[in-house]
Structure 1
Amino acid sequence: MTRSPLRALWDEPRAEPPPGTPWWDRALVAGLVPLTVLEAALRTDVVWPLWHGAWALVCVAALLWRSHRPLAMVVVSYGAQSAAGVVPALAGEPHSVLDVTAVVLLLAYSLGRWASGRGVLAGSGFLLALHLLREPLYDATGASMLLGVAALMLPVALGAVMRLWTTAQVRAREEVRLREREQLARDLHDTVAHHVTGILMHARAAQVRARTDPGAATAAVEGVEEAASRALEDMRAMVAVLRDDRAVGPGRSPAHGVADISHLARDEGPGPRVVVETAGDLDRLPSPVGSALFRATQEAVTNARRHAVDATLVAVHLSRDHDVVRLRVHDDGRAPGAGRGRRNRAAYGLAGMRERFSLLGGAVQAGPDPGGGWTVEATVPASGTGAEAQP
């Protein structure tokens, strides 16, 4: 059930005020105090100058707490201004007050900017009620009373608009940070999982060969060192991007593309052989599309090496058909025993893969192939129509 706008305003929490009292509020009070004293001393048309000066100073002092206690300061300031004018009027004195209207309007703005929804409604009601009660004592006309209502409510509305704009900016920044975290999580998973899988497979091969052929075990250990070096290089490049985009030069960027997919077939060592085939014009794909295709291929190859049972071949086929790019990664591993999902542990990788392609307007499917083995298929518009492709 949708909430009414009034109910939504009622439930609105307080806006986060600035820490302490801002310097500009302190400077404003420091400048207004002597001006208020001078006005009370020099104006000849003001009756009871000490009375009016004291209440005016109360209004000015309220500025120091306007962001942290907006409702209380509105009540204090408008109440002080009203008391300063109403009491002499009831005593039969001519209407005369010091000019603190700008201070009251600034506090009304603070009400809309910082107070909770309930505080805004309560403060607005207080301003309107007191305004309508006191103005007849000043012989105000109906038109002037309506003008006063508009003058009081306008700064409250401006404060609320500024509050909504600031909240929208904060939410937008939070969404950007969330997307950056998701992208970082995908990149870390894809990069680390791929290299650690290679290190693990070389280590297992070294352990097996050490029992029969120490020389072969040494070669396998060298493979571990090489895979670890590649992992360290990619991690350094990624950290360099996080610290400073300018620190990454040509050949050091972790944003791989379609051209890097063929490198996956050059990884030597234990595990199934990787064969890459391409077709169509793949040279001018947008960077987000190329990066997503590389990461999807890397993840699918890594999963095949880690989870496929007795796989000997991982076939990668990448093609472009007009405005659609298709990726198919198939391994010939056999299915595991019943009740044991072969790719259950690959949930993060597949989830990241689907997130990448959904942002680009594409889709990913993964599962056992009817002809045997496991197949990952992905399609994506060649133009990259999703959010990541936007500049």
Structure 2
Amino acid sequence: MLILILYFFIIIVAVQILFYLGIFGKFAFAKAQIITPKIVSISVIVCAKNEAENVSNFIPLLIEQDYPDFEIVLIDDASSDNTLEIFETYEKQHSNIRLVKVQNNEAFWGNKKYALTLGIKAAQKEYLLFTDADCYPTSKDWITAMSSQITMQKTIVLGYGKYETIANSYLNKVIRFETLITAIQYFSWAKTGRAYMGVGRNLAYKKEEFYNVNGFISHIHVRSGDDDLFINEAAKSRNTTIVYAAESFTLSKPKTTYKEWFIQKRRHIATANYYKTFDKIQLGVFYFSQFLFLILPIILLLWEFEWILVLSLIGLRYLVTWLVIGFSAAKLKEKDVVYLYPIIELTLVLTQINIFITNVFSKPVQWK
């Protein structure tokens, strides 16, 4: 029995190394990205629901972008606070701001995709650049950086949405590490020609791409997924590219309690159930092999079975993964989260198991 477990463990280690070197290494070891400005017309789209404080702080940072041809489309999704009043003030002060007021619709009540659809239809520019109301660009060259990789063929651009650093917070490191791992995955698969998701905090595509797939219609019944489900459907090997230069990053306020973050991740993981079959399989194999990598050696080591070989395999896997994650973290300016990698990975695996079990018995909370 133990010899079978050992063989299975060897296979699991091989699978993990294949993912990290064969797939994720395509991003980790890629050359630094050089931003060559291109001028395409851009509509920056922000959808907000009861985000008065955030939009007051962050919309000015969008207005200050150093880019010659852009407008800002502000979507108020039937807010009950003074978000709309703040948007109206900005609209009066700036000629390149367009305001979309969303009223509750009985058929699409509380559906962010409905609000975004109205904003996209109102946008006047050729390309759409999305961020969230609680996000802000890290530089005045954000639009320049996100548009720099657009070509006649590459009309979907996946960017990186960072989270702010909170000093002396282990939860913050876990959140940022999970965000890093997710980015490594979707950037790497995009480089292989199999893009499967993007994040609405930092995402751009040609308006034409939205209409090519009839917008969000195929998953309008799913409250979440305006970013990843759209990309899962619209992205093709030839039309998708990535931007990872530091000027292209956005920053968001992270959750500050485990409960809040757990609820957020439940929603994200539940959305993945609607991905294409291949994408669900590759994600399932990766996370299941990650889980087994942590479980199987415990069994073998408790029985002191071939412990030298087992420890060598553990060391090999961690060497490979630490290198790949380390090089990726350097590109995305997240190096500090790598120092506690094995501990954080264990925390994430246990959280993912908890989320999977919880989602089986109840549905996650959706858009506010």
Give the number of the structure whose alpha-carbon radius of gyration is greater: 1
Higher relative contact order (CA 8 A, sep 6+): 2
Structure number with the higher helix fraction is: 1
Pairwise TM-score range, normalised by the shorter structure: under 0.3
Question: TM-score, normalization: structure 2?
Answer: 0.23
